Amino acid sequence: MSSALFSMLSIHFGGMQSGDRIASNILTGVGFIGAGVIFRGGFTIDGITTAAVIWISAAIGMAVGVGKYDLAAFTVFFTLFALWSFSYFERIIMKERDRKYYAIQYAETALSPESLESLFRSHHLKVLAISTTKSTEAERAHHL
């Protein structure tokens, strides 16, 4: 809404010739806000989609502000479709690439690594590797 209002006010006060100045300043401000929602954590970068949605929202607001309602409506529809599509494909990709790491404590006499692997496979879990570590009773008490 602020982008639409700024666009309308720039045309009202300065005519169509000043609209580009306001537009460039809107883009600068929105870019600054968008950059603030992007975070890097470990091996991932979060907030890129949020930043893109902030950016496109400003553009839609500017289109409404200069009276390009058909362009704004098309952009809203296409943006929502793209976000839905990406979210759908992301779920498929993440389901395929989902990895879990388990730490299981068991008595060596009760279970072997082979039987543990068989147990996982019986539950349709893919086993990439099994690593075992022996510990004493005192070490196990410390980890609990």
pLDDT tens by residue, 25-52: 777 888 888 888 888 877 778 888 888 8
Q: What letters, b where the CB count within 10 A reaches 16 and e where it falls short, cover 50-88?
A: ebbebebbbbbbbbbbbeeeeebeebeeebeeeeeeeee
pLDDT surpasses 70 at 144: no
Confidence band of 69 (pLDDT split at 50, 70, 90): very high
Residues 57, 49: Cα–Cα separation, whole Å: 12
Band of pLDDT at residue 113, cut at 50, 70 and 90 = confident
What would the two tokens of residue 127 be? Answer: 């086993």
Average pLDDT rounded to a whole number, residues 99-110: 75
96: tokens are: 């395929």
Is the overall model pTM greater than 0.75, yes or no?
no
Q: Quick one: average pLDDT of 96-109?
A: 74
Alpha-carbon distance 98 to 61, whole Å? Answer: 38
Indicate if the pLDDT at residue 84 is higher than 80.
yes
pLDDT for the residue 95: 78
Q: What is the pLDDT of residue 70?
A: 92
Q: What is the pLDDT of residue 30?
A: 82
